[in-house]
């Protein structure tokens, strides 16, 4: 049995979130949450919340009533690009330069250890 949690429209680029996400993929949930809690990256807070949500989703399902949260691990964790907000800023010599404010969609899947 597995459970999914998604965080959409995270105001950080997918490239930066992916760096932190690679550290916790495949680890058990307790270790992953410990790593993220003490990590200085901005993305670690959002990923930590998403893992908590996935664990809650797992425990709420009826088939997993007798399962303990300590037996879970991060089966899949990936991030996709979200919409980019484009703004313009004055530049030298009367030009306009583009500012891209990127966002991302985060997906975490937790599953039971066999």
Q: How high is the pLDDT of residue 70?
A: 83
Q: How high is the pLDDT of residue 9?
A: 97
Tell me yes or no: is domain 2-112 CATH 3.90.470.10: yes
Label residue 98 exposed, middle or buried (CB < 10 Å: 0-12, 13-18, 19+). Answer: exposed
DSSP 83: -
Phi, psi of 37 (to 5 degrees): -65, -35
Q: How high is the pLDDT of residue 63?
A: 76
Write down the domain spans for the chain: 2-112
Q: How high is the pLDDT of residue 1?
A: 87
59-70 tens-digit pLDDT? 998 777 678 888
93-109 tens-digit pLDDT? 999 999 999 999 999 99
Q: How high is the pLDDT of residue 61?
A: 83
Sign of the Cα torsion 11, 34, 18, 51 reads: negative
d(CA 88, CA 95): 10
Q: What is the pTM of this model?
A: 0.90
Residues of the chain with pLDDT under 70: 65
């Amino acid at each position: 049995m597995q459970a999914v949690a998604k965080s959409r429209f995270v105001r950080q680029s997918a490239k930066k979130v992916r760096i932190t996400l690679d550290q916790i993929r495949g680890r058990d949930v307790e270790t992953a949450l410990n790593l993220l809690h003490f990590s200085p990256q901005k993305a670690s807070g959002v990923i930590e919340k998403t893992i908590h949500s996935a664990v809650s989703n797992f425990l709420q399902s009826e088939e997993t009533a007798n399962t303990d949260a300590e037996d879970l691990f991060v089966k899949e964790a990936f991030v996709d690009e979200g919409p980019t907000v484009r703004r313009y800023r004055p530049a030298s010599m009367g030009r306009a330069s583009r500012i891209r404010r990127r966002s991302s969609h985060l997906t975490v899947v937790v599953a039971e250890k066999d």
